[in-house]
A and B are shown apart, each in its own frame.
Chain A
Amino acid sequence: METMAAAYGIVWLAVVLFVTRMALRQRKLQRSFESLRSQLQASQNDDASLARAA
């Protein structure tokens, strides 16, 4: 009985860990895209101000 519980427990733990890892990566991805967006915005603003100065 304990062996069976251990086996099922291991499988479900692995699934939970995998899904949690996916969720954490998704959050990190969101932050990456936000930072990329702001970097792009900043470089576009700099280009615009350079063009105006010229």
Chain B
Amino acid sequence: MDHTKVRVGWSQVVVGSLVAVLLGTAILAIFCFAPTEQTMGHSQRIVYIHVPMAWLGLLGFMVMAVSGVGYLLRRNLAWDHWLQTCGELGWLCCSLTLATGSLWAHEAWGTWWEWDPRLTTSFILWCIYAGILMTRASVEDPHQRARISAVLAVLGTLDIPLVVMATRWFRGMHPVSPDMDPSMRMTLFFSVVAFTTFFAWLATRRRVQIGLENLATQLGRQIEPQANLA
């Protein structure tokens, strides 16, 4: 059975369609249902994409740490595949958080960047993600790579309370929990759910691919000596 050809079974079609419908509804809600904000106008709609990205950046990190602990306890590389998936997607979401946040900051505060506590700590989180991914690329042995990534992910997670609590502990420009119209709040919540579902679905597909890539590398190493002997 050829596992590398993308076989689209009916269950995948159903799940994929549900994800697409959810995302489509979220986009509709963002542009048609949510009212236009008084002060900032249409630019305020960036919040419906910025907040989900920020949430996913943090979630990715937490799942990375859980996967890391899972590997350290079980020594099953499947945990490491989840770590890599969440690392890639989480880093992407963190980058998009900084990018969308920067665009919004330019509209709201007239500056692209501020060394505000929450922005600073989000940037730190991005650096940790990048560091872990770069370190993974430099280690060949899968188990050593898994072990190192797990330790770094657990250490990095200790920074998360800082990111989350930054605006509550220290004064800064970044809004904490601004007053929002109920319809805006509902749109935001729906947007978070839709993007989380979408990225979870992407993550499952990517994880399968990582598993196959590792299998191919492993088989290549096993078959090569045999081929050379012959």
Direct contact between A and B in the complex (CB less than 8 angstroms)?
yes
- On chain B, the number of residues with a Cβ less than 8 Å from chain A's Cβ atoms is 38
Name the A residues within 8 Å of B209 (CB-CB): 22, 25-26, 29
Say yes or no: A46 contacts B104, CB within 8 Å.
no
Q: A11-B53, A29-B4 are in contact. Are A3 and B107 (CB under 8 A)?
A: yes
Most buried by A among B42, B50, B213, B216: B216
Residue of B nearest to A17 (CB): B92
Name the B residues within 8 Å of A40 (CB-CB): 223, 226
Name the A residues within 8 Å of B180 (CB-CB): none
Most buried by A among B50, B106, B227: B227
Residue of B nearest to A29 (CB): B4
Shortest CB–CB separation between residue A36 and chain B, in angstroms?
5
Say yes or no: A10 contacts B99, CB within 8 Å.
yes
Interface SS majority for chain A? helix
Q: Does B5 have its Cβ within 8 Å of any Cβ on chain A?
A: yes
B230 contact from A6, A30, A47, Cβ within 8 A: A47
Q: A25-B213, A42-B227 are in contact. Are A10 and B96 (CB under 8 A)?
A: yes
Shortest CB–CB separation between residue A23 and chain B, in angstroms?
9
Residue of B nearest to A35 (CB): B220
Q: How far is the CA of A30 from the CA of B209 in the complex (A)?
A: 11
Name the B residues within 8 Å of A10 (CB-CB): 96, 99-100, 103
Size category, A interface: 20 to 34
Q: Does B49 have its Cβ within 8 Å of any Cβ on chain A?
A: yes
Q: Does B143 have its Cβ within 8 Å of any Cβ on chain A?
A: no
Name the A residues within 8 Å of B216 (CB-CB): 29, 32-33, 36
Residue of B nearest to A2 (CB): B43
Name the A residues within 8 Å of B95 (CB-CB): 14
Say yes or no: B230 contacts A46, CB within 8 Å.
yes
Shortest CB–CB separation between residue B198 and chain A, in angstroms?
8
Most buried by B among A4, A10, A40, A50: A4
Say yes or no: A43 contacts B103, CB within 8 Å.
no
Say yes or no: B223 contacts A36, CB within 8 Å.
yes
Name the B residues within 8 Å of A50 (CB-CB): 230
Say yes or no: A22 contacts B205, CB within 8 Å.
yes
Chain B residues proximal to chain A, CB less than 8 Å: 2-6, 41-43, 45-46, 49-50, 53, 89, 92, 95-96, 99-100, 103-104, 106-107, 202, 205-206, 209, 212-213, 216, 219-220, 223-224, 226-227, 229-230
Interchain Cβ contacts under 8 Å between A and B, 16 examples:
A3-B106, A3-B107, A4-B42, A4-B43, A6-B103, A10-B100, A11-B53, A14-B92, A18-B92, A26-B209, A33-B4, A36-B223, A39-B227, A42-B227, A43-B227, A43-B229
